[in-house]
Amino acid sequence: MLTNLFDGVAYGMLLFVIACGLSVTLGLMNLINLAHGAFAMAGGYITVVLVNRMGVPFFAALPLAFVLSALLGLVMERTLYVHVYRKSHLEQVMFSIGLVFMAMPAVSFFLGSEQKFITVPAFLDTRYEVFGVSMGAYRLLIILVCGLLAAGLQFIVARTRFGSQLRAAVDDPMVARGLGIRVDAVFATTFAVGSGLAGLGGALGANLLGLDPTFPVKYMVYFLIVVAVGGSAGMTGPLVAAILLGIADVSGKYYLPQFGSFFIYALMIVVLLWRPQGLFARPGGR
Amino acid sequence: MADILSVEHLSAGYGAAIVLGDVSISLPEGQSLALLGRNGMGKTTLLNSIIGVTRRRAGIIRFAGVDITKLRPEQRAHAGIGWVPQERNIFRSLTVEENMTAVARPGKWDIARVYTLFPRLRERRANMGNQLSGGEQQMLAVGRALVLNPRLMLLDEPTEGLAPIIVQELMAALARIVRDEGLSTIIVEQHAQKVLGVTHQAVILERGAVVYAGTSAELQQNDAILEHHLGVTGKKHA
Amino acid sequence: MTAALQTRNLLRRFGGLVATNDVSITLEQGARHALIGPNGAGKTTLINLLTGVLRPTSGTIWLAGEDITRTSRARRVELGLVRTFQINQLFPGFTPLQSVGLAVSRRLGLDRNMFRTIGSDPRVVGECVDVLERFDLIDVMNRPTASLPYGRQRLLEIAIAIACGPRVLLLDEPAAGVPEGERGEIMDGLAALPADVTVLLIEHDMDLVFRFASRISVLVQGALLVEGTAEEVANDPRVREVYLGDDAHG
Amino acid sequence: MSEPTTRAANMAEAARALRQVSRAKPVEILFWLLALASFLFLPDQYLLLNEVAITGLFALSLDLVIGYGGIVSLGHAAFFGFGCYLAGLLTKFGVPDPLMGLAIAAVGTGVLGFVTSFLVLRGSDLTRIMVTISIAVLLGEIANRLPGLTGGADGLQGVAPGLLLGRFEFDIFGQVAYGYSLAVTFVLFLIARRFIFSPFGWSIRAVKQNALRTSSIGIHVNRRLVVAYTLAAAYAGVAGALLAQTTSFVSLDVLAFHRSADLLLILIIGGTGYLYGGLVGALLFKVIQDFLANLTPEYWEFWIGMLLVALVLIGRDRVTGLPAMLIGKFRRA
């Protein structure tokens, strides 16, 4: 029971780190980006290449996965995404699905279509028993890293000038511009960091979520749930939504294996019926 | 003295709607201007055009001698235009202090000075933007524009919907900024008498066109014009 | 005679703010009534209450003697309470003829028909032509709405409303955003409104208000300040104060 | 106001203009003549053409939702797959007649569409995307978890439709299959066309352009969208049923995400909101897909994705505007 809870929390925090960038892009630019999972996949495969092929130590590969995914995100934002902000949601959906369709065969062309595992240091394979809760070291690491990241993000968004500018731009982009906030630069930065975090999450979660070229589609709805249920008003909503989702998914699959992911989708439909704007959306929000 | 702002033959609106047609105004540096007119006559659109959030059809806007027509709103703000929007538009998920730190630029106006001007804001510094009263929101909107350290302030109906006591306090603060600091200012108002005593110049807009431009002192004495353009009779040839 | 539209003690709160405060207003059949007031006086809230976008906190609305306080938006239109918008709300891809045709079809109860073509009923064609002629839109009736000059679009905004067959028409700033040169068309359009339709005009342009309206209500901070004939309102010291400032002759 | 003669002229002109919109244009007649010609003269391509006709009908159904209703759906395969399984199961459980199967599939899927429309019509575009995806995934899960009924991951075996109209047997060359699919698609197209140009259809197009105004002329916006969504679901169900009957096989793939996504691409290629977009797009898509699959069997999706990205970035109007522009020049010349 508690072990499930523990696993669920680890899973949920991972989803949060991957998806948190998505909530900002939606809130700030009203952009529906279904290709966000592709950046997570990129981070996973970058780590596979670095660790398995080039022998880079796992812990050195993680920051690299972040940086390279962030760079990829920045380049994509400046060259491609920048052209679709003003387009309709339908076009944004088409555009981002197109990117997913390109990313999947590209990965299987260069790296093969089979599932990949990242070689992690041996000490991460052990399990600890604490008060009868069996905790895998790897999941503990995920909770630790993702917890630190969540706290760091919360700090940046809530305490720094950049965070204030970000929140101001989400609140009212037009007035923010009129008062001298460079909304486009704030957004590009956020997009890059969001992509980097997705990449880092993809690297950390590769062995847990299963890394193969179908990754962006397989988890698309999960990332969207975090955003739609969590809202885009801050970091807390998506974090809580992600952890709830993680716990629900893990326990659902454990206690009701015959239903598979049925449970989670049904739950989501119920939640969205109850609160169409998300569980944590502020009233009158976009 | 050189003009801080000159608007020449500006025509602008939103989407297909044209609100301003061929408007020209100018303001010498260090002076203040009351922009008057009844509701819906284009005052806010003119202000929004100066900050750059409307659709311009024709004309140019010069700021401190430089053509800023092509600049984006944030570039105009950096050039030295401070804006107090009509709806105040306080960032609701930011605290009072963050509303200012997020936009502050170095200069003689810092947050401490704004707190001296509006002590009420200091008490409320940790409150979120959406927890303020109308008067506090207005003070914050003014303070937020001040910490941009602008050379020109644009104030859109700063007293609208406020209690008389708050209006007095606000107008006193504005008078200090305009008179003692010599900050160039444009104040949009529906109620002429509230601002004519504070400002140097006055312009009346009617249906998107300038129908009066002169000094505030002159206008204050001219009941006929006040009644004609700002009163309710609406008789064109009264 | 029953009033065309009547409200009694209409009140709407948003949290602590009273946006509409105890408004009682009566529009006689065929009235030309204007509603004026400074920004933020609650004119938009009042329109939203009348059309059913918002529900009043308390108070009642009657349309031709029928209590419509709780009636749905679409039903109010069917009963004959129709509005225009301050910002054009048109069908950019339809022509004026098609836009008006849809409204006419709805009024004639043909809009649920799935298998007749829209122009197959001669009544629809006749009424479309009536409305388009009335507002001088015949020459552009087959052009896409999006390509029309703004003044014409404003007229179409009113034409669609008239095509709904209103008993009471709420006009929200019909002249807003219309360039000076095209204002004459709007004036003509207002003059062409059917005499039996009761009109409530919300407008800032006093020329238009005084030319059009026989009665004027002044709304200030959500409450009715004055109601009377154009003459009475123009000469009312309280109204002058609202429009000129605290001490108009200071 | 105006002279009686001018009024009469205006009446005639208005009646003409209203009628003209819904009148069949020569190019439309040509389109269907070509379709008929393909049946008469392209026997080698029946299998591919059958798929084109079915996909075209399926895309037409999505066009009713997106192009006319303005609802962004990424799970339209739910209805296609539901109709597919329904028709497949009917042949196994005592209703071998194809047309009867089609009718039952249409009604059954329509009911599913009606029920789910209330989930879909709430909320924003994002919510709609998620709910539509989820409904498709849920159906996929159900089909996967009920192997006794659906054959699970192995697919539904032993689908054996009876004789069409009691006379024609589905042959292995696909002649009857294509003729059947084409005829059904044509009939449903005519119905859709009638529907779109009816006052009801106008009101649905009005909703997409401006929901606020539509409700302000007294039309219940949501009720209209429920009808459009239900009708579209029934159409998708028929398309799915056609696939099950003409290929005698149903697999989980009919509910897969890529089907919904491909369908959007088809509409983007063909254009939304003029009814032919789905049919034209389906043909182009199948041809492109066929070509790419021969070129790079495993990686054709990449090029499809690139096409999507390019279409959005360049703007479909500019791509399709080109032929229209050329035709215009040709006409003027």
- For the stretch A86-103, pLDDT in tens is 888 888 998 999 999 999
B193 touches chain C (CB under 8 A): yes
Instruction: Give percent of chain D above pLDDT 70.
Output: 93
What pLDDT is stored for residue A161 in this prediction?
Answer: 92
Average pLDDT over residues C16-38: 88
Average pLDDT value for residue range A38-48 = 94
Separation of CA C118 from chain center: 27
pLDDT digits (tens, 9 = 90+) for D289-310: 888 888 887 788 888 889 889 8
| For range D109-138, the mean pLDDT | 87
In this predicted structure, the answer to whether residue D332 has a pLDDT above a threshold of 60 is: no
Domain count, chain B: 1
CA distance A9 to A5: 6
H or E element that contains D279:
helix D276-295
| pLDDT confidence tier of residue C242, bands split at 50, 70 and 90 | confident
Angle between helices D257-270 and A89-111 (to 10 degrees): 120
Residues facing B18 on adjacent strands = B13
d(CA D330, nearest CA chain A) in Å: 31
User: In Å, how far is D208's CA from the nearest CA of chain C?
Assistant: 9
pLDDT value at position A281?
56
List the domain boundaries for chain D.
24-332
Determine whether the interchain pair D119/A273 forms a contact, defined as Cβ–Cβ distance below 8 Å: yes
Average pLDDT, chain A: 85
Look over chain D and give the mean of its residue pLDDT values, rounded to a whole number: 85
What pLDDT is stored for residue A279 in this prediction? 65
Domains of chain C in start order, with CATH, are 5-93+144-244 (3.40.50.300)
Contacts of D277 (CB under 8 A, 6+ apart): D59, D63, D67, D267, D270, D271
Residue of A102, A222, A271, A273 best to disrupt the D interface, most CBs of D under 10 A: A102
- pLDDT of B143 reads 94
Residue type, A257: P
Q: What is the mean pLDDT of residues B51-70?
A: 92
Collapsing DSSP to helix, strand or coil, A276 comes out as: coil
- Is D31:D189 a contact under the CB 8 Å cutoff? no
Q: Do D202 and C105 touch (CB under 8 A)?
A: yes
Beta-sheet pairing, B184-189 with B32-36: parallel
The better pLDDT of the pair B231, D8 is held by: D8
Residue B35 domain-assigned (yes or no): yes
Q: Which residue has the higher pLDDT, C155 or B38?
A: C155
CA distance B183 to chain C (A): 25
Q: Is A177 on the interface with B (CB under 8 A)?
A: yes
Question: Between chains, do A180 and B99 touch, taking CB under 8 Å as contact?
Answer: no
Burial of residue D33 (number of CB atoms within 10 Å: 0-12, 13-18, 19+): exposed
Lowest mean pLDDT among C106-110, D107-111, D154-158: D154-158
User: Are B102 and A234 a contacting pair at CB < 8 A?
Assistant: no
Residue D328 has pLDDT above 60, yes or no: no
Range of weakest confidence among B144-148, C85-89, D2-6, D140-144: D2-6
Minimum distance, in Å, between the CA of residue B111 and any CA atom of chain C:
30
Candidates C243, C213, C215; CA nearest to C228 is C215
Q: List the CATH code of the domain at D24-332.
A: 1.10.3470
Q: What is the mean pLDDT of residues A118-128?
A: 80
The long-range contacts involving C116-121, CB below 8 angstroms and separated by at least 24 positions, are: C116/D198, C116/D199, C117/D18, C117/D19, C117/D22, C117/D194, C117/D197, C117/D198, C118/D18, C118/D21, C118/D22, C118/D197, C118/D198, C118/D199, C118/D202, C119/D14, C119/D15, C119/D17, C119/D18, C119/D19, C120/D19
pLDDT tens for each residue of B116-146: 999 999 999 999 988 888 889 999 999 999 9
The pLDDT score that the predictor gives to residue C232 is 87
Compare CB distances from A91 to D141, D265, D312 and report the shortest one's residue. Answer: D312
**pLDDT confidence of residue C132:** 92
Q: How far apart are CA D174 and CA D166, in angstroms?
A: 17
User: Percent helix, strand, coil in chain D (nearest 5)?
Assistant: 80, 0, 20
| Residues of chain A with C-beta less than 8 angstroms from the C-beta of B88 | none
Q: In this predicted structure, what is the pLDDT of residue D314?
A: 85
Q: Return the higher-pLDDT residue of C100 and C184.
A: C100
Interface test with C, best of D2, D16, D18 (most C CBs within 10 A): D18
- List, for residues C39-83, the tens digit of each pLDDT value: 777 888 899 999 988 899 999 999 998 999 999 888 899 999 999
* Position C248 confidence tier, pLDDT thresholds 50, 70, 90: very low
In a domain, B145, yes or no: no
pLDDT given for residue A241 in this prediction: 87
| Chain D residues close to A273, C-beta within 8 Å | 119, 122
Residue A281 covered by a domain: no
What average pLDDT does this structure show over B27-34?
92
> What pLDDT, on the 0 to 100 scale, is given for residue C247?
46
pLDDT at A203: 93
Locate B70 and state its tokens. Answer: 């092509």
CA distance B106 to chain C (A): 35
Query: Exposed, middle or buried, C113 (CB in 10 Å: 0-12/13-18/19+)?
Result: middle
Q: How many angstroms away from the CA of B48 is the closest CA of chain A?
A: 9
User: Which residue from D minimizes the CA distance to A99?
Assistant: D305
The H or E element spanning position C174 is none
DSSP category for residue D25: P
CB contact under 8 Å between D124 and A276, yes or no, is yes
* CATH number of the domain enclosing A129: 1.10.3470
Per mean pLDDT, which of A63-72, A206-215, A262-271, B88-97 is the most reliable? A63-72
Q: What are the chain D neighbours of A258 within 8 Å (beta carbons)?
A: 145
Among chain A residues, CA nearest to B130:
A171
Touch between chain B and chain D: 3 or more Cβ pairs under 8 Å: no
Q: Which helix (H) or strand (E) holds B222?
A: none
Chain C neighbours, 3+ Cβ pairs < 8 A: B, D
Enumerate residues 158 to 217 of chain A having a beta carbon within 8 A of any beta carbon in chain D. 217
Q: Is B21 on the interface with C (CB under 8 A)?
A: yes
Q: Name the residue with higher pLDDT: A234 or C64.
A: C64
Is A167 in Cβ contact with B93 (below 8 Å)?
A: yes
Highest mean pLDDT among A265-279, B190-204, C32-46, D219-233: D219-233
B57: contact with C, CB 8 A cutoff = no
Query: Each residue of B178-237: pLDDT tens digit?
Result: 888 889 999 998 888 888 888 999 999 988 899 999 999 999 888 888 888 877 654 443
Mean pLDDT of chain C: 87
pLDDT at res. C24: 92
What tens digit of pLDDT does each residue of D24-67 get?
888 888 888 888 888 888 888 888 889 999 999 999 999 999 88
**What pLDDT band is residue A233 in, cutting at 50, 70 and 90?**
low
**pLDDT greater than 60 at residue A285:** no
| pLDDT of the residue at A65 | 94
Answer yes or no: is A279 within a domain.
no
Instruction: Specify the higher pLDDT residue, C247 or A181.
Output: A181
- Domain of B197 in residue numbering reads as 3-80+150-237
Q: What is the CATH number of the domain that holds B204?
A: 3.40.50.300
Q: pLDDT band for position A66 (50/70/90)?
A: very high
pLDDT of residue D68: 87
Closest residue in B to A182 (Cα) is B74
Proportion of chain A above pLDDT 90, given as a percent = 31
Range of the domain at A25: 2-274
Residue A136 per-residue DSSP state: E
Which pLDDT value is given to residue B138? 92
Residue D4 has pLDDT above 70, yes or no: no
Q: Which of C201, C205, C247 to mutate to test the interface with B (most CBs of B within 10 A)?
A: C205
Span D173-186, pLDDT tens digits:
778 888 889 999 99
Structure ipTM: 0.82
Strand, coil or helix: D197: coil
Q: Which of D22, D209, D215 sits opposite C74 (nearest CB)?
A: D215
Interchain contact A127–B (C-beta under 8 A): no
| Range from A220-234, A250-264, D240-254, D318-332 carrying the lowest mean pLDDT | D318-332
D128 residue type, one letter = R
> Per the CB < 8 Å rule, is B190 touching C39?
yes
pLDDT tens column, C149-181:
888 899 999 999 999 999 999 999 888 878 777
Q: Find the closest chain A residue to D125 by CA distance.
A: A89
Q: How far is D84 from chain C (nearest CA, A)?
A: 27
Is residue A25 one of the residues assigned to a domain? yes
CB contact B227 to C (< 8 Å): yes
Q: pTM score, two decimals? A: 0.86
More confident: A127 or A202: A202
Q: What angle do CA D202, D207, D209 make, to 5 degrees?
A: 95
Q: List pLDDT tens digits, range A8-37.
A: 888 899 999 998 888 877 877 778 899 999
pLDDT reading at B55 higher than 80: yes
Q: Tell me the C-alpha distance between D269 and B82, whole Å.
A: 48
**Residue A284 domain-assigned?**
no
**Chain B, nearest residue to C248 by Cα:** B193
State mean pLDDT over C133-155.
90
| Number of domains into which chain A is organized | 1
Residue at A193 is within a domain: yes
Which of B13, B226, B234 lies nearest to residue C244, judging by beta carbons?
B226
Alpha carbon of B110 to those of B30, B138, B146, D323: distances in Å? 20, 18, 8, 61
Per the listing, tokens 């203009």 go with D17
